[in-house]
């Protein structure tokens, strides 16, 4: 499964759970460039 396929599946699950699509898009973007992030706390903040 590609990253994009996983991301789309995660978006569908998040939508079902009532999670904001905007937050989910930002979360996927950050996860996609996880190795370049200096601080992963931004990901944790999006999950709140």
pTM beyond 0.85, yes or no: no
List Cα–Cα distances, 36 to 1, 21, 48, in angstroms. 22, 23, 22
φ and ψ at residue 38, rounded to 5 degrees? -80, -30
In terms of residues, how long is the chain?
A: 48
Domain-by-domain residue ranges, the chain? 3-46
Q: Identify the pLDDT of residue 22.
A: 95
pLDDT of residue 14: 94
What whole-number distance in Å separates Cα of residue 10 and Cα of residue 7? 5
Q: What is the DSSP letter of 44?
A: H
Q: What is the pLDDT of residues 5-45, one digit of tens each?
A: 999 999 999 999 999 999 999 999 999 999 999 999 999 99
Asked if residue 45 lies in contact with residue 27, where contact means CB atoms within 8 angstroms, the answer is no
């Amino acid at each position: 499964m590609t990253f994009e396929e996983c991301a789309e599946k995660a978006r569908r699950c998040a939508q079902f759970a009532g999670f904001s699509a905007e937050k989910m898009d930002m979360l996927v973007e950050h996860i996609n460039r996880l190795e370049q992030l200096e601080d992963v706390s931004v990901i944790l903040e999006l999950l709140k």
